[in-house]
């Protein structure tokens, strides 16, 4: 299982990378592994407002589904359309295959998220 040092994490297993005011968000390698073969990603639409801690979509495997919780608040500016046809990309590389990009309204939310070390601890539990 991989955890990248330069990212921030939510307890609900999403990762965030912030560049300027744009946050890129995906699910962690731990989460994709727990779910197994991902068959569908329910993504938001561009222009949707997302709120930190609230769900913005879901990932489905054959016999399980997991809600996606946004780690930040803001407006969705881009979604990863490649996942519409090939949701399994997340299984191949959960960090390269992000789900959405959000223009954040409060960058300090990112600072409140877990760092790699703290997230690794949660996964161990």
Partner 1 sequence: MNRYIPHTDEDIKVMLEKIGVKSTDDLFSDIPEDVVFKGEYDIPSAMSEVELRKHFKELGDKNSQLTVFAGGGAYDHYSPSVIGHLLARSEFYTAYTPYQPEISQGTLQYIFEYQSMICELTGLEASNASMYDGATATAEAAMMMVASAKKKNKVLISATVAPRVAEVVKTYTKFHGIELTVIPEKDGVTDLEALQESLKAGDVAGIIVPCPNKYGIIEDFTGVAEKVHAVKALMAMTCDPSTLAVLRTPAEWGADIACGDGQTLGMPMQFGGPYLGFMACSKAQLRKMPGRVVGATKDADGKRAFVLTLQAREQHIRREKATSNICSNQSLMALYATIYVALMGRKGLEEVNKLSCDGAHYLYEKLLSTGKFHKAFDKPFLKEFTVHTDLDIKKTNEYLASKGYMGGIDLGNGLVEFAVTEKRTREEIDEFVTLMLEA
Partner 2 sequence: MKYYDKLIFELSRPGRVGYELPKNVFATDGEKEIPSDLLRKSKLDLPEVSELDVVRHYTNLSNKNFGVDTGFYPLGSCTMKYNPKINEEVATMPQFAALHPLQNPETAQGALELYWNLQNALSNLAGFAEFTLNPYAGAHGELTGLMVMRSYHEARGDHKRTKVIVPDSAHGTNPASAMVAGLEVVEVKSRPNGSIDIEDLKPLLNDEVAGIMMTNPNTLGMFETEIVEIAKLVHDAGGLLYYDGANFNPLLGKVRPGDMGFDIMHINLHKTFSTPHGGGGPGSGPVGVAEHLVQFLPNPHVKKSEDGKFYVENGEDALGSVSTFFGNFGVMMKAYAYILSLGKEGIKEVGPMATLNANYIKESLKDDYLLPIEGACKHEFVFDGLRDKSTGVTTLNVAKRLLDYGFHAPTIYFPLLFHESMMIEPTETESLETLEEFIEVMHKVAKEARETPEEVKNAPLTTLVRKLDETTAAKNPILNYKALKNS
* DSSP letter string, 35-83: H-SEEEEE---TT-EE-TTSEEEEEEESS-EEEEE-SS-EEEEEE-THH
Task: Give the Cα separation of 75 and 22 in Å (integer).
Answer: 10
- Is residue 62 a contact point for partner 1 (CB under 8 A)? yes
Q: Among the candidate windows 13-21, 60-68, 75-83, 85-93, which touches partner 1 by CB under 8 A?
A: 60-68
Of the candidate residues 39, 77, 110, 116, the single one contacting partner 2 (CB under 8 A): 39
- Is residue 75 a contact point for partner 1 (CB under 8 A)? no
Taking CB under 8 A as the rule, which mask of x and - marks residues 7-46 in contact with partner 1? --------------------------------xx-x----
């Amino acid at each position: 299982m991989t955890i990248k040092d330069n990212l921030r994490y939510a307890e609900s297993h999403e990762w965030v990378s912030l560049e300027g005011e744009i946050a890129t968000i995906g699910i962690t390698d731990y989460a994709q592994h727990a779910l197994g073969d991902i068959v569908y990603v329910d993504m938001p639409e561009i222009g949707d407002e997302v709120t930190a801690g609230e769900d913005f979509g879901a990932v489905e495997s054959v016999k399980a589904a997991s809600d996606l919780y946004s780690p930040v608040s803001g407006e969705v500016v881009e979604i990863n359309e490649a996942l519409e046809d090939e949701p399994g990309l997340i299984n191949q590389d959960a960090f390269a295959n992000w789900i959405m990009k959000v223009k954040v309204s409060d960058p300090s939310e990112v600072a409140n998220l877990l760092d790699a070390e703290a997230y690794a601890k949660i996964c161990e539990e």
